[in-house]
Structure 1
Amino acid sequence: LWCKLQQPDQMSSFQQASDTIYVHAEAVPVNGFNRATAPSSSSTCNEAGAREYLGGHKWPLGLQNTSINNLAKIPIRFFICDDSGSMILSDGHKLMSTAAGVQKFVTCTRWQELTEGLKFHAGLARAASAPTEFRLLNGGPPIRIGIPDENENARFELLMSKLEQSPSGETPLCRHIREVTDTIRAMEGQLRATGQKACVIIATDG
Structure 2
Amino acid sequence: FKIVLNVSQDTYLETSLSAGFRFSVNDPDDEILPDSDGRILSPGFSIDVVLQHRIMNRLNWPHGSCEPMSDQKKPKLELCLRYCYQKKIISYCNCTDPKYPIPPDFEDDFGYCGVEKSDNADLAITYFLVVKRLSTLGNCLIQIVSLLSLFENDCDCKDRCHSKYYIYTTSMAKKLEKSGYSSKLYRNLIKDVLRKILDAFGNVEDI
The TM-score, its normalising length taken from structure 1, stands at 0.23
